Amino acid sequence: MPELPEVEVVRRDLDPVLRGRTVVAAEVGRDRAVRREPAPEAFVATLTGRTVVATSRVGKFLVVRLDGGLEGAGRDVVIVHLGMSGQLRVAESADEARLPHTHVVWTLDDGREVRFVDPRTFGQMWHAVSTDPGGRPEPLGHLGPDALDDLGDATMLTSRFAGRRIAVKLRLMDQTALAGLGNIYTDEILFRAGVAPHRPSGSVTEDECVALVAAIRAVLPAAIAARGSSLADAQYVDGRGRPGTYQEQFAVHARAGRPCPRCGRTVARLAMGGRSASFCPGCQR
């Protein structure tokens, strides 16, 4: 459930907590949370004693850059993906009660803890190396341009849609085409752009790509400003445990059967690629 806006809100919350702090201890309570590591002990060993120099984000992945080590400042990173239900929570001290499903804990040199909580266990974190301290770590090389920081103009979208039969909503969710969008925000972006989710990508016109780019540029910052979206089942909360409020601004997502806020027609729901799309048959063509 966390998509780009939620990950960015968490990053902005975590950055001042982590930056300049040294990880004095790390603990893995559930091996699956570090399943890309050779062993949980390897992850703990890599992290312990390291200082965080910066945080960044690529799509839905959070990147925590570490100082020191053989590779030099900023080259060793920890990549975090929240999956569907992952949360990074800051505890003021070790005395604070741990939530159920707390799988990884980092203890900082100021006594605070950063805790990775993830009921559905789709999230994970692992150590990687970035050849360029400012660039992307190697495991994230397959991702397309970041939908917030590197969106470019409509030409970029047009070229990624060209000749493809796959539904435009699924193409927008393809992280190798564009990184950061998921089921929630593609629903809202397609609504704003007036494009039906099941349209073949290749049928989307240049003008519609212009509208899609404008919609992405409007929706993502607004969602970040609202501190993300929190829905009933996948309880997204920020680094301080508070839900977001962007769901109050949803036009179509999770609103199937209710009236479209623009034209009043009933919002429809469509099964697509094992997911569900919500859209307005009146406003989206």
Partner DNA sequence: AAGCACACCTGCTAGC
Partner DNA sequence: TGCTAGCAGGTGTGCT
Query: Should residue 20 be labelled a site residue for DNA when binding is judged by CB under 7 A?
Result: no
Phi, psi of 16 (to 5 degrees): -70, -25
Provide the minimum distance between the beta carbon of 273 and DNA in the complex, in angstroms, as a whole number. 6
Reply yes or no on whether 40 is catalytic: no
Reply yes or no on whether 275 is catalytic: yes
Query: Should residue 167 be labelled a site residue for DNA when binding is judged by CB under 7 A?
Result: yes
Contact with DNA (CB under 7 A): which of 56, 107, 175, 284? Answer: 175
Count of chain residues binding DNA (CB under 7 A): 36
Query: Should residue 214 be labelled a site residue for DNA when binding is judged by CB under 7 A?
Result: no
Query: Should residue 8 be labelled a site residue for DNA when binding is judged by CB under 7 A?
Result: no
| Interface mask toward DNA for 231-250; x: CB under 7 A | -xxx----------------
Provide the minimum distance between the beta carbon of 96 and DNA in the complex, in angstroms, as a whole number. 20
Is there a contact between 275 and 183 (Cβ–Cβ < 8 Å)?
yes
Query: Should residue 156 be labelled a site residue for DNA when binding is judged by CB under 7 A?
Result: no
Both structure tokens of 217: 């540029």
Query: Should residue 81 be labelled a site residue for DNA when binding is judged by CB under 7 A?
Result: yes
| Residue (114 or 167) nearer to DNA, CB | 167
Provide the minimum distance between the beta carbon of 110 and DNA in the complex, in angstroms, as a whole number. 31
Query: Should residue 134 be labelled a site residue for DNA when binding is judged by CB under 7 A?
Result: no
Query: Should residue 218 be labelled a site residue for DNA when binding is judged by CB under 7 A?
Result: no
Residues 171, 175, 180, 186: what is their CA dihedral angle, to the nearest 10 degrees? Answer: 20
Q: What is the 3-state secondary structure (H, E, C) of the chain?
A: CCCHHHHHHHHHHHHHHHCCCEEEEEEECCHHHHCCCCCHHHHHHHHCCCEEEEEEEECCEEEEEECCCCCCCCCEEEEEECCCCCEEEEECCCCCCCCCCEEEEEEECCCCEEEEECCCCCCEEEEEECCCCCCCCHHHCCCCCECCCCCCCHHHHHHHHCCCCCEHHHHHHCCCCCECCCHHHHHHHHHHHCCCCCCEHHHCCHHHHHHHHHHHHHHHHHHHHCCCCCCCCCCCCCCCCCCCCHHHHCCCCCCCCCECCCCCCECEEEEECCEEEEECCCCCC
Q: Which amino acid is at 12?
A: R
Reply yes or no on whether 133 is catalytic: no
Catalytic residue among 3, 6, 37, 113: 3
Contact with DNA (CB under 7 A): which of 70, 95, 97, 100? Answer: 100
| Residue (49 or 139) nearer to DNA, CB | 139
Catalytic residue among 11, 21, 50, 60: 60
Contact with DNA (CB under 7 A): which of 25, 84, 210, 214? Answer: 84
Active site residues: 2-3, 60, 275
- Interface ranges with DNA (CB under 7 A): 1, 3, 32, 59-61, 81, 83-85, 100-101, 119-122, 139, 142, 164-167, 170, 173, 175, 182-184, 201, 232-234, 273-276
